[in-house]
């Protein structure tokens, strides 16, 4: 992939305007199931639209959970969402009327199917398909407006990390973040459970002493949480890939944040207060209650999207095929051997840095340029392959 001219990359993006002032680079119809009992019906509705921007999300639990409620409200009103179909069984605890009201107030079309009232599986599927067909036709008529790079919100994570992640993919992603912040965009990095040992380095980059204290507190909380569980955010795959400790993994994870000042610490579904670089605290408050904070990389991506990310960069050394619903995911492959095996699932070959074929700055610029192209409508490999993974589990945060 060749590096574009910066002025060309910074050309206006055409996007869909939202009532809250944000703009979307995609215009997705979200089909959201509100309990596991409604999952299959919602899935069958989506499968009728495999070639369209109709994405399945949902919450499997039946017991009430404040986190799942505000996460779904944030996701269903995210900038890339154009309309929402809610699929309810009918007897679950999820506050579906509250969710529908939030979506309606955001100016998006919303419709609720209650399976017990509609008359079962087939009738519910038919009703959902009919509503989406009508809504798709309406969405295609919606006009776009210009969007500046400074209006973008970009998230970043790393997963399937190995010994190459911290010396190629993550530093390149960090360079792209610095370029985005310079352009006035908002950037979010996370994985407080994988930044252990780097808290004081990050605090030195904080915009104020108060933000520095928040950064240290978030990482200390993550460390205590994992100590209570008796495990760390370190997998067998990380060890097989050449990493030896969580501190070593943390140094690589830290690199993707770049070098800009850190403006604040947010929690899932919270929107950054302004432009610049923010840390997303992903570990539950109040001690261990629900288990592992993030059961896989997809949940971390979803939390970035709930906080407004238009696009997410995903750095991987070992390789991953997962993307996510609602927002495009750009795969940055850190390991040249992994890229050679999995090139159809990757967007950027950061392994060229290790091979001596490119510098960190050159690959970082490539990531930056690709983010702009994706915002302008170019599909990521994950989008081309139809990846719309989604995970939403139980958590608790003080808000």
CA distance 224 to 246: 14
Here the tokens at position 78 are 């995210």
Which pLDDT score is estimated for 19? 97
- SS3 (DSSP) at 202: helix
Instruction: Map residue 125 onto helix, strand or coil.
Output: helix
pLDDT for 6 equals 44
pLDDT value, residue 378: 97
Largest CA-CA distance found in the chain, in angstroms, rounded: 63
Q: Six-digit token pair at 32?
A: 């959201």
Burial class from Cβ neighbours inside 10 Å (0-12, 13-18, 19+) for residue 291 reads exposed
Tokens of 346: 């990757």
DSSP-assigned letter for residue 87: E
Q: How many Å apart are CA 233 and CA 210, to the nearest integer? A: 27
**Alpha carbon distance 364, 358 (integer Å):** 10
Q: Does domain 28-139 have CATH number 3.40.1400.10?
A: yes
Structure tokens at 388: 């719309």
What was the pLDDT predicted at 236? 54
pLDDT along the chain (399 residues), means of 10: 43 92 98 98 96 94 94 98 98 97 98 98 98 97 97 92 83 97 97 88 97 97 88 54 53 86 98 97 90 87 98 93 96 94 97 96 98 97 96 94
> Which pLDDT score, from 0 to 100, does residue 296 have?
86
CA 165 to chain centre: 19
For residues 267 and 190, what is the distance between their CA atoms, to the nearest angstrom? 10
Residue with tokens 């639990």: 61
Q: Reduced to 3 DSSP states, what percent helix, strand and coil does the chain have, rounded to the nearest 5?
A: 40, 15, 40
Neighbours of 45 (CB within 10 A): 24
Residue 245: the pLDDT is: 55
How far does CA 193 lie from the centroid of its chain?
17
Specify the residue for token string 């670089």.
Answer: 277
* Among candidate residues 283, 247, 253, the one with its CA nearest the CA of residue 161: 253
> Taking Cα atoms as reference points, which of 186, 167, 372 lies closest to residue 262?
186
- What's the pLDDT score for residue 151? 97
Place of tokens 């998230």: 155
Q: What is the CA radius of gyration of the chain?
A: 20
């Amino acid at each position: 992939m060749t590096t574009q001219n910066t002025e060309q990359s910074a050309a206006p993006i055409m996007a869909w305007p939202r009532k809250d002032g944000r703009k979307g680079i995609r215009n997705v119809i979200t089909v959201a199931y509100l309990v596991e009992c409604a999952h299959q019906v919602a899935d069958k509705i989506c499968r009728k639209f495999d070639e369209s921007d109709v994405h399945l999300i949902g919450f499997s639990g039946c017991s009430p959970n404040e986190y799942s409620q505000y996460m779904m409200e944030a996701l269903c009103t995210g900038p890339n969402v154009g309309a929402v179909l809610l699929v309810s069984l009918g007897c679950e605890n999820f506050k579906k009327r509250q969710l529908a009201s939030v979506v309606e107030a955001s100016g998006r079309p919303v419709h609720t199917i209650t399976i017990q009232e509609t008359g079962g599986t087939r009738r519910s599927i038919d009703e959902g398909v009919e509503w989406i067909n009508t809504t798709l036709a309406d969405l295609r008529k919606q006009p776009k407006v210009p969007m500046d790079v400074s209006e973008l919100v970009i998230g970043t994570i790393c997963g399937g990390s190995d010994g190459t992640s911290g010396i190629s993919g993550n530093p390149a992603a960090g360079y792209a973040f610095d370029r985005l912040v310079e352009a006035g965009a908002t950037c979010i990095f996370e994985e407080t459970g994988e930044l252990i040992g780097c808290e004081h380095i990050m605090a030195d980059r904080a915009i104020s002493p108060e933000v520095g204290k928040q950064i240290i507190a978030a990482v200390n909380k993550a460390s205590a949480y994992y100590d209570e569980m008796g495990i760390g955010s370190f997998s067998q795959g990380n060890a097989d890939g050449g990493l030896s400790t969580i501190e070593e993994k943390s140094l690589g994870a830290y690199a993707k944040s770049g070098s800009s000042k850190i403006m604040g610490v947010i929690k899932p579904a919270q929107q950054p207060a302004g432009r610049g670089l923010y840390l997303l605290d992903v570990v539950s408050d109040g001690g261990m209650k629900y288990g592992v904070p993030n059961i896989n990389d997809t949940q971390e991506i979803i939390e970035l999207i709930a906080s407004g990310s238009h696009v997410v960069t995903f750095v991987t050394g070992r390789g991953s095929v997962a993307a996510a619903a609602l927002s495009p995911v750009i795969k940055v492959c850190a390991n040249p051997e992994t890229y050679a095996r999995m090139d159809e699932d990757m967007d950027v070959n950061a392994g060229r840095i290790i091979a001596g074929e490119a510098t960190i700055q050159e690959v970082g610029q490539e990531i930056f340029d690709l983010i702009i192209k994706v915002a302008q409508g170019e599909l990521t490999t994950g989008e081309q392959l139809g990846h719309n993974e989604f995970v939403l589990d139980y958590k608790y945060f003080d808000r």
